[in-house]
Amino acid sequence: MAEDVITTTGIAHHGAGRLPSVDVDSFNVELKDDEGFLGDRASKGAFRKIIDRWRKPLRKTGEDPFGDVPSDKISKKVLDDMLVGADTEASAIVHSAIEDFAQELAYVTRRFLKSKAWAKTERIVVGGGFRDSRLGELAIARTEIILRAEDFKIEMVPIRFHPDEAALIGALHLAPSWIFEGYDSILAVDIGGTNIRCGVVETRAKKAADLSRAAVWKSELWRHADDEPSRESAVKRLVKMLENLIKAAHEEGFRLAPFIGIACPGVIREDGGIEKGAQNLPGNWESSKFNLPASLVEAIPTIGDHDTAVLIHNDGVVQGLAEVPFMQDVERWGVLTIGTGLGNARFTNRRKHNGKGEKKNSEKK
């Protein structure tokens, strides 16, 4: 039975609260107010609704600079161009939307910061596809200014790696330390409601032991939302993508570790199952009879000469882990990922990348 397959390395369980470099204080928190889930107020869709609201009065007079294009179909590049373009009305719409969205993001962030799990957070990294635009960067900066004006001592910074690659690189920080002694790369998977992306991630540990120079060497992308596959078909496609990458890595001469790190939406159980939050994935991924890590180990039992180990964690957590090397000047930090929803995770550093070993955490839950 797939459920009986051992998938982890022994250093951490799936969805672990303690990882090699950080304690995961919370993730996938679903805060609510009178209007519903707070994440819905600071999502990609929320921004598009704000754009639409500002376009409405101009539509009445036939002067909408975006014409008949629906707000959710306007590309981020077009919006970025409008910011500095000659059309002042279009620019004003985008600037107004940025301000309104920043106010919403500040409201949501404020609620997180006032929660027990996010107490004393010093810095928040903002990831997700919205960050990959000038308008996203401006909204993040404006949010920080709003919060600082209210005496919140918080930094808001865009994630450093490209949003398409951050979760793949973050998977390195799920891996046990021995990975970086005998191997130079791992397999990583980022599962989303629209896409599944797999990649070979180079550690580049010889250039930077803290993994700050890590990079995606090769990746494959599948837009499963276009195909609407069954769960079983999706897993088969994922296995095929991983097999292609294993072959390519070996042909290139990489020393590929027998380890697969997975970022996946939802609350991850210790056995690798998904408790909730996977409703946008193809098929029923929350079934007690389905276990993705076990399915992958059965399909790919070895990588090179060693048994395959798989570790799965929440996608917001894994995306945030890409920032571990750059968070060593603070102790408590978080991540918000702006996409279809608002992913979130809060971390406390437990080991500095300076050879001094584990950092004491007097406030560990």
pLDDT band at 60 (very low <50, low <70, confident <90, very high): confident
| Interstrand relation of 256-264 and 185-191 (parallel, antiparallel or unpaired) | parallel
Residue 354 is predicted with a pLDDT of 45
Residue 155 is predicted with a pLDDT of 97
Q: Look at the block and give the residue holding tokens 């590309």.
A: 75
Whose CA is closest to 352, among 335, 327, 333, 332? 327
pLDDT band at 11 (very low <50, low <70, confident <90, very high): low
With 70 as the cut, is the pLDDT of residue 32 above it?
yes
Whose CA is closest to 222, among 194, 262, 187, 242? 194
Q: What residues have CB less than 8 Å from 278, skipping those under 6 apart?
A: 264, 265, 266, 285, 286
Residue 35 is predicted with a pLDDT of 78
Q: Considering the entire predicted model, what is its pTM?
A: 0.89
* pLDDT tens figures, 90-122: 999 999 999 999 999 999 999 999 999 999 999
What does the alpha-carbon distance between residue 41 and residue 216 come to, in Å, rounded to a whole number?
32
| Residue 85 per-residue DSSP state | S
With 60 as the cut, is the pLDDT of residue 8 above it?
no
What value does the mean pLDDT take over residues 71-86?
93
* pLDDT tens figures, 118-136: 999 999 999 998 888 999 9
Residue type, 265: P
Residue 176 is predicted with a pLDDT of 86
* pLDDT tens figures, 216-253: 999 999 999 899 899 999 999 999 999 999 999 999 99
Least confident span in 255-269, 287-301, 347-361 = 347-361
With 60 as the cut, is the pLDDT of residue 336 above it?
yes
If one compares 351 and 184, the residue with the highest pLDDT of the two is 184
Backbone angles phi, psi at 323, to 5 degrees: -90, -5
What does the alpha-carbon distance between residue 246 and residue 217 come to, in Å, rounded to a whole number?
12
Residue 351 is predicted with a pLDDT of 60
Assign domain 2-17+176-321 to its CATH architecture: 2-Layer Sandwich (3.30)
- For the chain, the average pLDDT equals 90
Residue 35 burial class via C-beta count within 10 angstroms: exposed 0-12, middle 13-18, buried 19 and up:
exposed
Q: Look at the block and give the residue holding tokens 């004393």.
A: 120
Share of the chain above pLDDT 90, in %: 77
What does the alpha-carbon distance between residue 258 and residue 99 come to, in Å, rounded to a whole number?
47
Q: Where are the domains of the chain?
A: 2-17+176-321
Residue 356 is predicted with a pLDDT of 42
Helical segments of 85-205, H only: 88-113, 134-149, 163-170, 179-182
Within a 10 A sphere around the Cβ of 318, how many other Cβ atoms?
32
